[in-house]
Amino acid sequence: MSARVYLVRHAAHDNVGGYLAGRTPGIALGEAGRAQARRLAQRLKRERIDIIHASPVQRTRETAQAIADVAQREVEIAPALEEIDFGAWSGRTFEDLNGDEHWRRWNAARSITATPAGETMLGLQQRVYAHLLTTVRDHPESQIVMVSHADPIRAALAVVLGVSLDRLPSFDIAPASISIIDFDPWGATVRLVNEQTPDEEPA
């Protein structure tokens, strides 16, 4: 088994960083996000992309489609890559959430605290990483793009890096960023974390 997985965070919606989008339906990429997605697609044009998976959420599907249009591949929807279910936190501003004791406790101890919907970070990590392992097992020697969200990407990287789930907020996964995990017969290796495409990416 030898495969490369490009973990791509979706490009930005219009108020990224202002509120917790989560799984809220109907949140599309903004104009700046669509430009990010096009630059990201040009960046990945330099690679041999065999497979593209995307979370079911609209902004991930739009980002994946921009990549697929350039790579001339189809997008496969992968529910395992979906954002953690934030339940009642979804749609609230971060300013509002910062006053919520449960939110503060979850960010301080993600390994043992569930979201209001009952999903844990460990559960998220297990479903995401299992999807990675199944995909690279079924498609050895492939280069695979998986378009997801910040926390699922952090959780997958944490498995390989041996990082505690409580430490996930300590490293950034920016919109339209690329992180890479290589899967070889002797194990998995993180090759890149949070590469951000410049504003002007050459074609």
What is the extent of the structural domain holding 58? 3-196
- pLDDT tier, 62 (very low <50, low <70, confident <90, very high otherwise): very high
Does some domain include residue 28?
Answer: yes
Does some domain include residue 202?
Answer: no
% the chain with pLDDT above 90? 81
Task: Provide the pLDDT for residue 203.
Answer: 45
Does some domain include residue 134?
Answer: yes
Region of 194 (left: φ > 0; alpha: ψ -120 to 50; beta: rest) is left
Q: Which residues contact 41 (CB under 8 A, 6 or more apart)?
A: 66, 67, 69, 70, 71
Please tell me the total count of domains within the chain: 1
Q: What is the DSSP letter of 141?
A: T
Residue 51, pLDDT above cutoff 60 = yes
Task: Provide the pLDDT for residue 65.
Answer: 98
Least confident range from 20-24, 52-56, 163-167: namely: 20-24
- pLDDT tier, 1 (very low <50, low <70, confident <90, very high otherwise): low
Does some domain include residue 201?
Answer: no
Does some domain include residue 128?
Answer: yes
Unique residue bearing structure tokens 């990201």: 40
Least confident range from 72-86, 105-119, 133-147: namely: 105-119
Q: What is the mean pLDDT of residues 124-141?
A: 97
* pLDDT tens per residue, range 95-110: 999 999 999 999 999 9
5: helix, strand or coil: strand
Residue 198, pLDDT above cutoff 80 = no
Least confident range from 15-29, 58-72, 120-134: namely: 15-29
Residue 91, pLDDT above cutoff 90 = no
Q: What is the CATH number of the domain that holds 102?
A: 3.40.50.1240
Does some domain include residue 50?
Answer: yes
Residue 42, pLDDT above cutoff 50 = yes
What is the rounded average pLDDT for all residues in the chain?
93
What pTM was estimated for this model as a whole? 0.93
